[in-house]
Structure 1
Amino acid sequence: MMTKISKTAILLAAGSLLALGACSRSAPDELPPPPVGSNDYDTGPTGPVPGSRADFIAQAGTDTIYFDTNMHDVDADDRAVLDAQAAWLIANPSVRVTIEGHCDERGTREYNLALGERRANAAANYLAQRGVASSRMTVISYGKERPVALGSDQASWAQNRRAVTVVPM
């Protein structure tokens, strides 16, 4: 009986020492570089790295256009944003993008997936008309599955009715 208690006590003591030893480690003197594609990686000492997502946002102003309820038409404000995006994409011909279509929470899943696809295609078609090769663009619809604004009000819905041009990290 004494042997069993002694073994348990030794195991508990050893576990405690290991736990305390792990807590006493100091931070490394130098941190490893950030992962490729992180925001820190996109920005160098003189600004965004050319061809990066940060450069795209800096040059184009935004990656998002917005739509009215149940609409997928590209209006004048959207055209200005997409013109700036097209200019950047033409200047960076090796970059491929994904254009995401999004909707607000109202409507069925199927309806919103179809509407999101029409929105993404409207943005992609406009970019193609401005000289961006269609082979460089992928279109995907998330419907109402990825809202940026949570809430059931006009302001939230307006933010979620969008198409986003995503430059890979």
Structure 2
Amino acid sequence: MSKINNWVTKFLDKAHLNTSRILITYICALLLIPVFFSFFMILEVAITKSNVITIMKSPYVAVDVIIIITDFILGYYLWLKKDNFLCKNHNYRFFMTCQLIGQLLVGNLFCSILALFGLISLRSTKKGWQENSELLIKAISIAFIFLFGICSVIIILLKVKNSR
């Protein structure tokens, strides 16, 4: 495991990805993924010559829309409060751990990998950051992981129902 960790740390160093750049990339991903999803919805409406309501009748699309809206809100919140995450080691670690779990639950591998990179780069950083954590950041992190968990359970239930 330490060989993989060392390899990822070397990769992050060569790519010049520190905790700040990883967080900014994560914010961009959370804000751009919903935009691309919207473009794909518009493209599907144009190709199938149907309307958005017809496409939204699919329960999978409805759950994906909930996930996309949640990602966008989270990205916007992070964009506004990124300094709070970067200045406090404990906030960053807790948030990225919650995001790693939550994004894995809903199948967003790109954001999961970015969260994992953020955790690994935090471990390799030798800065002496403050260890105080903010209750609001913990509450938001837990709320989003709870929402992602609910969406994951809904997707699993839909898959089980359709497999019968």
Length-normalised TM-score, structure 2: 0.24
Q: Which has the higher strand share?
A: 1
Higher relative CO (Cα under 8 Å, sequence separation at least 6) belongs to 2
Length-normalised TM-score, structure 1: 0.23
Q: Which has the higher helix share?
A: 2
